[in-house]
């Protein structure tokens, strides 16, 4: 699978860049939505690693996104003035990576205390971390505090977004399907048995958080340079829930399903703009009905995912 897998990745990246070069032919509005879809795919697939594969119920993913977004935006805002235009793509990539790295650090800080916690407790603690990050950002003058960070350069385009989305999907899929990666699912299925087989559950859980947070940070950076404005309230509990719903809708653990769900849940609100009054009511109803009727997600076929089973 060595060159085979990488071949797909290179193809995807080439397509992304290709479309990007031709982007002036496309409608700006649809292009914007396509970028949103790409960003949400990164968010959903990265959360899927934590929630779906490793079974750690994280409700604070927006916090990691915020860390990545603010970090990269601050870097580009400060350094773009000092560097020639030719260096800007490199600066962008560097800023995204630094944002991701800092988000990964946040993931480490969240992951370690969460080790002993189960289910609901873990959910609340991760929610708490998300809120703490938000409160900290709201008080950080260097990034605009409550009024937010403005004037971020508009460097995100289709090519960047979808190339990075392809990379995220590739990286996480390769990781999980390797022998090493089976450990994530083993830890999810039965932590006691996993440790009896020599697997260190602590390492896997923390790794899931760190890797998931890294990619969420990248998504945050892309988001920042797309919307050109960041505000702490945009990364609150609701945003985390948005991503969680994508993962659930796609069937926790099913990468393809999660990608489709991310696309669907990005496009649908746009398509339903006319019903904006009822949009959120329908959205919450969707969550309830999903759990009552089809907890294994819309897109999981054949495989009865764990949320649907009657056992613990």
Residue 310 interacts with another protein (CB under 8 A): yes or no: yes
Q: Does 196 bind another protein (CB under 8 A)?
A: yes
| Secondary structure (DSSP) of 196-254 | HTT--HHHHHHHHHHHHHHHHHHHHHHHHHHHS-B-GGGGSHHHHHHHHHHHHHT-TT-
Which residue in the set 26, 121, 154, 271 belongs to the binding site for another protein (CB under 8 A)?
121
Among 15, 131, 153, 269, binds another protein (CB under 8 A): 131
- For residue 148, the minimal CB distance to another protein (Å) is 16
**Binds another protein by CB under 8 A, chosen from 31, 136, 264, 298:** 136
x-marked contacts with another protein along 48-87 as a string, rule CB under 8 A: ---------x------------------------------
Q: Please identify which residue in 188, 226, 239, 254 interacts with another protein, judged by CB under 8 A.
A: 188
How many H-runs (helices) and E-runs (strands) does the chain carry? 12, 0
Q: Does 294 bind another protein (CB under 8 A)?
A: no
Give the x/- contact pattern for another protein in 223-242, rule: CB under 8 A: ------------------x-
What gap in Å lies between CA 116 and CA 297, rounded to an integer? 28
Residue 26 or 303 having the CB closest to another protein = 303
Site residues for another protein, 147-166, by CB under 8 A, read: none
Smallest distance from another protein to CB 307, Å? 5
Helix axes 28-48, 158-177, angle to 10 degrees: 20
Torsion sign over Cα 121, 122, 128, 132: positive
Query: CA 53 → CA 48, 180, 194, 248, 266, distances in Å?
Result: 6, 13, 14, 12, 23
Q: Give me the least distance between CB of 5 and another protein, in Å please.
A: 6
Nearest approach in angstroms of CB 74 to another protein is 20
Q: 18 or 113: whose CB is closer to another protein?
A: 113
68: CB partners within 8 A, 6+ apart = 96, 99, 100, 102, 103, 216, 217, 218, 219, 220, 221
Is 121:113 a contact under the CB 8 Å cutoff? no
For another protein, the binding residue among 82, 84, 142, 179 (CB under 8 A) is 179
Residue 77, both tokens: 């805002």
Number of residues in contact with another protein under rule CB under 8 A: 73
Task: Calculate the CA 210 to chain-centre distance.
Answer: 12
Which member of 10, 132, 268, 301 binds another protein (CB under 8 A)? 132
Please tell me whether residue 270 binds another protein under the rule CB under 8 A: no
């Amino acid at each position: 699978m060595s060159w085979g897998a990488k071949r797909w990745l290179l193809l995807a990246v080439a397509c992304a860049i290709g479309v990007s070069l031709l982007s002036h032919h496309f409608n700006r509005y649809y292009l914007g939505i396509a970028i949103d879809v790409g960003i949400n795919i990164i968010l959903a697939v990265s959360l899927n690693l934590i929630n779906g594969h490793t079974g750690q119920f994280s409700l604070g993913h927006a916090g990691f996104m915020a860390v990545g977004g603010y970090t990269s935006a601050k870097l580009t805002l400060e350094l773009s003035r000092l560097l020639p235009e030719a260096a800007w793509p490199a600066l962008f990539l560097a800023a995204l990576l630094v944002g991701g790295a800092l988000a990964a650090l946040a993931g480490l800080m969240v992951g370690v205390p969460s080790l002993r916690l189960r289910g609901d407790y873990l959910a609340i603690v991760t929610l708490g971390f998300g809120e703490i990050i938000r409160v900290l950002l709201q008080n950080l003058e260097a990034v605009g505090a409550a009024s937010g960070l403005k004037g971020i350069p508009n460097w995100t385009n289709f090519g960047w977004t979808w190339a990075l989305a392809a990379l995220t999907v590739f990286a996480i899929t390769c990781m999980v399907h390797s022998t090493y990666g089976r450990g994530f699912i083993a830890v999810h299925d039965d932590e006691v048995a996993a440790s009896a087989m020599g697997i260190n559950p602590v390492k896997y859980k923390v790794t899931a958080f760190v890797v998931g947070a890294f990619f969420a940070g990248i998504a945050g950076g892309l988001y920042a340079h797309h919307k050109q404005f960041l505000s702490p309230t945009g990364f609150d509990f609701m945003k985390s829930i948005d991503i969680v719903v994508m993962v659930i809708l796609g069937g926790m653990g099913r990468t393809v399903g999660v990608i489709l769900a991310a696309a669907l849940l990005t496009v649908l609100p746009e398509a339903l703009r006319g019903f904006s009054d009822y949009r959120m009511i329908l959205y919450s109803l969707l969550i309830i009905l999903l759990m009552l009727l089809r907890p294994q997600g819309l897109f999981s076929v054949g495989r009865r995912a764990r949320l649907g089973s009657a056992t613990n």
